Amino acid sequence: MNDHEKRDFQAGLEAEVDAFMRGETTRRTFITRFGQMTGMLAASGPILGMMTDWALAQQKLELADAGSPLGQAQVAAMKASMEGPADGSAFRAVEAAKAHSGVTLNMTYEAGLQALDPRNFSGPMWEQLTGMKSNVVELSNPDQYSKAVAEHIAGSGAYDVLDISPAWTPSLADGGVIAPLDDYIAKYMNPTDLEDYHPLYKALPTYKGKIWGFFDDGDMFALYYRKDIFEDPKMVEAYQAKFNAKLGPPKTWEEYAQIAQFITDQMAPNVYGAGHFRKAGSPGNQFDFLQQYRANGGKLFGDDMKAGLVSDAGVKTLQNMIAANAASIPGNNELDAVSLWAAFLTGKVAMIYSWPPSGRMAANYSQSATAINFIPQSQIAGKVGYAVVPGNPEHATGYNKALSADSANPEAAYLFMQWACSPPVSLARCMLPYALRDPYRISHFKSELYGALFPSAKEYLSNLNNSANVGLLDPIMPGAQDYFLSIDRMCTAVWAGADPKASLETAAAEWNETTDRLGVDSQKAFYTEFLKLPGATADNTVEKLGMAVTL
């Protein structure tokens, strides 16, 4: 390439970059030409290796068409990272992170779809912006806890950034596995970004007055129902005649079971009233029991920290769940979350409650990614309505990004976390079709770009926000895994015919044993801390605390 050709090429490349930043559809040309340039540099000297590697690294970055809502969100994320505003958390993180260029961050992610975001999008983009590489360590959900602890005990410094369930925060913080972020936040973050979290999620990483991570996945359960069935005049008329009530999304669990049974009676075997993921370990039982039990006024623990399960609320909850099971699709108790989605998407089930990807899949948005093609194409796109789960929906686990206390590059790791969870970048990540990251910031719920992802996306976002307003949190305390496991065993035993009262007693005995093992006083202290969080009980929701977010 002579000087003249080089000048022309550089001018062309700049034009491509500008066009890309303007959101025009020239990404592929840009990457191709950049690759060509670095390829031609092969003959020009020692810079070859580094530049070629860099160019290849760029090609890992998967960007949507810049004209699409996702593409626009990605462009906006890149602009916010490169151009500012100067006080934005994304921009400040990138500017500070350039000093750590060359560092490799080891990041744990749940194996599978969750890990595709850092592999295909946020990791390569971060590398492009800062020169920092990322090594994604895929782990199963339980291993995201156990491996983090094991590596901490070994002092290996194997991980820099940890994806953890909020329920693990007290254990990991007290165990010295994760580090507080307060100093870094004061130094680098725009404090208004903390105010952008929905109030249900804002306090989740806070423990003993310190911030131990950034909340990063709004796993709020919501109700998804078939509008075409619920609005069918014949069905409405029949329901009115039978129950003297209007057919609509249920407001109570009794009504839920009643509507499910009604639809099953009217439409089976073509369509059944409801479906649930009830298979042992799936883990729908624990979340469903916890949301219904607390909505029914049940207390998890008494003042003496004895399990409160053996109560009228406990029996009522199990009876309601049994009634719902009876009204559901055959094999309801054998379904896991994916099978339930398959049943709903193929039109066999009239209503489900599950995690937010349900809505994106029902609209056929998720299936646009090949990575998620194990989910069937939706046959109900455009026919799905959204409602808040009767009573109070469960925020079923979620994720925090936490900083490993053993990280050799804690500042670099923190800066990645701040950048990835900043409003513009987290929005683009939540909008990825294959990602299981669900909206959690107020700006996500209000986003015009997200609202344009599929025809009913605005309603979908609004419903998720409304659900969070009255949502309940999983217990955040040590032993959470043990408590959850006991509930799962209890529920599946009941589905197989065991007596509800006796099963509640067995589960309560297991809870008490867990509490004794971990220390009654210590557990009581953790539980007291948990009860301070908005959403810890049905009497303490965001809405009841007067903090509800209205879009």
Partner 1 sequence: MQYTATVSRMKAAGAPPRLSSFAQWADRHFKWLLVAPAVLLILALSIYPLLFSLVVSFINYDFQVPGHGFVGLKNFERVVFDPVARWSLLLTAWLSGVSVAIEFVLGLLVALTMVRSFPGRGVIMSILIVPLFISPVIVGQAWTLLLQRPFGPTNYILTQLLGQEVTIGWMTEAPWLYVSLIIADVWQWTPFMFVILLAGLTAIPPNLYEAAELDGVNAWQAFWAITLPHLAPMMLLALTFRLLDAIRMFDTIFIMTGGGPGTRTYTASYYLYTVGFTQFHLSQATAGSWLFLIFTALVVTLLVRRLLKAEPV
Cβ proximity to partner 1: between 71 and 284 the closer is 284
Burial of 469 per CB tally in 10 Å (0-12, 13-18, 19+): buried
**Span interacting with partner 1, options 102-110, 138-146, 357-365, 427-435, rule CB under 8 A:** 138-146
Residue 264 beta carbon to partner 1: minimum distance, rounded to whole angstroms: 13
To the nearest 10°, the Cα dihedral for 303, 309, 315, 320? 110
The CA–CA distances, whole Å, from 235 to 69, 254, 258, 267, 317 equal 37, 19, 14, 10, 28
Q: Does 330 participate in binding partner 1 (rule CB under 8 A)?
A: yes
Beta strands 133-139 and 384-387 are unpaired
Residue 150 beta carbon to partner 1: minimum distance, rounded to whole angstroms: 8
The CA–CA distances, whole Å, from 54 to 126, 287, 353 equal 13, 45, 45
Q: Does 452 participate in binding partner 1 (rule CB under 8 A)?
A: no
**Span interacting with partner 1, options 9-17, 142-150, 225-233, 295-303, rule CB under 8 A:** 142-150
Q: Does 517 participate in binding partner 1 (rule CB under 8 A)?
A: yes
Binds partner 1 by CB under 8 A, chosen from 490, 508, 536, 538: 490
Among the listed residues 375, 504, 487, the one whose alpha carbon sits nearest the alpha carbon of residue 436: 375
Q: Does 525 participate in binding partner 1 (rule CB under 8 A)?
A: no
Residue 288 beta carbon to partner 1: minimum distance, rounded to whole angstroms: 15
Q: Does 495 participate in binding partner 1 (rule CB under 8 A)?
A: yes
Amino acid at residue number 2:
N
Residue 186 beta carbon to partner 1: minimum distance, rounded to whole angstroms: 29
The residues facing 472 across adjacent strands are: 394
Binds partner 1 by CB under 8 A, chosen from 24, 255, 482, 505: 482
Q: Does 375 participate in binding partner 1 (rule CB under 8 A)?
A: no
Residue 499 beta carbon to partner 1: minimum distance, rounded to whole angstroms: 12
Q: Does 144 participate in binding partner 1 (rule CB under 8 A)?
A: no
Q: Does 282 participate in binding partner 1 (rule CB under 8 A)?
A: yes
- Residues 66, 371, 426, CA angle at the centre, nearest 5°? 50
Binds partner 1 by CB under 8 A, chosen from 130, 422, 447, 492: 492
Cβ proximity to partner 1: between 36 and 339 the closer is 339
Cβ proximity to partner 1: between 154 and 551 the closer is 154
Q: Does 36 participate in binding partner 1 (rule CB under 8 A)?
A: no
Q: Does 547 participate in binding partner 1 (rule CB under 8 A)?
A: no
Q: Collapsing DSSP states into helix, strand and coil, what is residue 472?
A: strand
Structure tokens at 462: 């609004």
Q: What are phi and psi of 524, to 5 degrees?
A: -65, -40
To the nearest 10°, the Cα dihedral for 105, 107, 111, 116? -60
Q: Does 512 participate in binding partner 1 (rule CB under 8 A)?
A: no
Q: What are phi and psi of 111, to 5 degrees?
A: -60, 145
**Span interacting with partner 1, options 125-133, 159-167, 492-500, 525-533, rule CB under 8 A:** 492-500
**Span interacting with partner 1, options 20-28, 405-413, 477-485, 539-547, rule CB under 8 A:** 477-485
Cβ proximity to partner 1: between 111 and 518 the closer is 518
Contacts for 550 with CB less than 8 Å, ≥ 6 apart: none
Q: Does 111 participate in binding partner 1 (rule CB under 8 A)?
A: no
Let me know: does 177 contact 153? Beta carbons within 8 Å: no
Q: Does 518 participate in binding partner 1 (rule CB under 8 A)?
A: yes
Let me know: does 108 contact 139? Beta carbons within 8 Å: yes
Let me know: does 393 contact 473? Beta carbons within 8 Å: no
**Span interacting with partner 1, options 326-334, 411-419, 465-473, 530-538, rule CB under 8 A:** 326-334
Residue 151 beta carbon to partner 1: minimum distance, rounded to whole angstroms: 12
Cβ proximity to partner 1: between 458 and 489 the closer is 489
Residue 261 beta carbon to partner 1: minimum distance, rounded to whole angstroms: 17
The residues facing 394 across adjacent strands are: 472
Contacts for 455 with CB less than 8 Å, ≥ 6 apart: 363, 382
Q: Does 236 participate in binding partner 1 (rule CB under 8 A)?
A: no
Which of positions 246-275 make contact with partner 1 (CB under 8 A)?
Answer: none
Interface mask (CB under 8 A) for partner 1, residues 164-203, using x and -? -------x--xx----------------------------
Size of the site for partner 1 (CB under 8 A): 38
Q: What are phi and psi of 164, to 5 degrees?
A: -130, 155
Distance CA 94, CA 327 (A): 53
Q: What are phi and psi of 197, to 5 degrees?
A: -70, 140
**431-434: long-range contacts at Cβ-Cβ below 8 A with a sequence spacing of 24 or more?**
431/69, 431/70, 431/73, 432/70, 432/116, 432/117, 432/120, 432/121, 432/369, 433/70, 433/360, 433/365, 433/366, 433/367, 433/368, 433/369, 433/372, 434/113, 434/116, 434/366, 434/369, 434/371, 434/372
Q: Does 156 participate in binding partner 1 (rule CB under 8 A)?
A: no
Q: Which residues bind partner 1 (CB under 8 A)?
A: 142-143, 145-146, 149-150, 171, 174-175, 279-282, 329-331, 333-334, 339, 342-343, 348, 478-479, 481-482, 485, 488-490, 492-493, 495-496, 498, 503, 517-518
